[in-house]
């Protein structure tokens, strides 16, 4: 899938992923009213509202961005109804040609990791019946349990053409408390990047990048520069642009030459654009998906501006 992601970015000339992180505060009144009329103010009502919101956004952005990144926490909070909305969203996006990065941030011992891999990017086994479950193209993982927690995913990466993005340097302000500790003369995130370089060699795609990518926050450009130096053949998923304050200029160190090797996420900045003053004069809440499209196009322009 890493090769397809690279091809799609190239075709659309747009290294952007739209984060599908719905929350009730972002859902326009008319969608909530309809969902709550049918299902009440229940977990099901909230989940149905999320799915309707996502579908309209996907329909508006599917021809301009290569990928979407649903954040599982937003759905999980509503239990199995929320998980159904997460799964339905994945299916809807894939049916419309979008690549799906499931932001699930798993990390556990090998026997448990195998179950995560089977469920998310592999096949679940029901007494010999092999069943595809969540169907993401990529998922995110934490590296802090070491390689035996990553190795169970490698077969699915290579045999089923799936991908991982492994946390290397996260975008949150306190990431430095742990990730920037000095360990045996180097920063911890640098050590993680070096490990990922070795791990990723077991899963190389055809276009020079590994199926094991890295999550590198846009909000720490100096750290991103060091990580890029260690990982020239690793594709980066870069959150932090927009709502978390990173600018297009901050993104530059994440890319290889010619604007290659990274995809930039924006979630709130796109899906809730209709609430932003900048878009309010042109779009009301019924046009929320059109506002999301306008914000995604503005982001594309902003990225192109610093790439040129």
Ligand X SMILES: O=c1ccn([C@@H]2O[C@H](COP(=O)(O)O)[C@@H](O)[C@H]2O)c(=O)[nH]1
Confirm if 266 and 243 have CB atoms less than 8 A apart. yes
In terms of CB distance, is 119 or 217 closer to ligand X? 217
| Pick 155 or 172: Cβ nearer ligand X | 172
Active site residue 135: no
Q: Per the structure block, which two tokens stand in for 52? A: 């309707």
Exactly one of 105, 135, 176, 275 is catalytic; name it.
Answer: 105
- Please give the angle made by the CA atoms of 299, 301 and 303, to the nearest 5 degrees: 70
Q: Which is nearer to ligand X, 130 or 301 (CB)?
A: 301
Chain contacts with ligand X (rule: CB under 6 A): 19, 21, 71, 103, 170-171, 215, 217, 239-240, 242-244, 265-269
Q: How far is the CB of 237 from ligand X (least distance, A)?
A: 8
Burial, 256: exposed, middle or buried (Cβ in 10 Å; 0-12, 13-18, 19+)?
A: middle
Q: Compare residues 23 and 94 and give the one whose CB is closer to ligand X.
A: 23
d(CA 38, CA 41): 9
> With contact defined as beta carbons under 8 Å apart, do 162 and 156 qualify?
yes
What's the min distance (Å) between Cβ of 53 and ligand X? 15
Closest approach of ligand X to the CB of residue 170, in Å: 3
Q: Is 150 helix (H, G, I), strand (E, B) or coil?
A: coil
Instruction: Please give the C-alpha separations between residue 154 and each of 18, 89, 159, 162, 236, in angstroms, as whole numbers.
Output: 26, 25, 8, 9, 18
**Cα gap 59→219, rounded to integer Å:** 30
CB of 140 to ligand X, least distance (A): 7
Report the catalytic residues. 105
């Amino acid at each position: 899938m890493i090769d397809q992601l690279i091809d799609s970015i190239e075709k659309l000339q747009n290294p952007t992923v739209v984060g599908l992180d719905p929350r009730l505060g972002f859902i326009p009144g008319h969608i909530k009213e309809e969902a709550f009329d049918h299902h009440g103010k229940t977990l099901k009502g909230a989940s149905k509202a999320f799915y309707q919101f996502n579908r309209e956004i996907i329909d508006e952005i599917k021809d301009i961005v290569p990928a979407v990144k649903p954040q599982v926490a937003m759905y999980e909070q509503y239990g199995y109804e929320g998980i159904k909305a997460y799964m339905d969203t994945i299916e809807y996006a894939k049916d419309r040609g979008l690549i799906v990065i499931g932001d699930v941030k798993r990390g556990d011992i090998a026997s448990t990791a195998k179950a995560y891999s089977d469920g998310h990017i592999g096949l679940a086994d029901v007494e010999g019946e092999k069943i595809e479950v969540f169907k993401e193209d990529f998922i995110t993982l934490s590296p802090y349990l070491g390689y035996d927690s990553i190795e169970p995913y490698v077969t699915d990466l290579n045999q089923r053409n799936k991908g991982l993005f492994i946390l290397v340097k996260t975008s949150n302000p306190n990431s430095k408390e742990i990730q920037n500790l000095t360990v045996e003369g180097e920063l911890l995130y640098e050590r993680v990047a070096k490990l990922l370089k070795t791990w990723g060699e077991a899963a190389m795609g055809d276009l020079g990048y590994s199926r094991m990518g890295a999550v590198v926050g846009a909000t720490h450009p100096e750290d991103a520069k060091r990580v890029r130096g260690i990982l020239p053949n690793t594709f980066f998923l870069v959150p932090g642009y927009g709502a978390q304050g990173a600018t297009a200029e901050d993104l530059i160190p994440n890319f290889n030459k010619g604007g290659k090797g990274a995809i930039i996420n924006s979630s709130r900045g796109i899906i809730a654009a209709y609430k932003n003053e900048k878009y309010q004069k042109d779009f009301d809440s019924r046009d929320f998906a059109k506002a999301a499209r306008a914000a995604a196009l503005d982001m594309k322009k902003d990225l192109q501006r610093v790439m040129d």
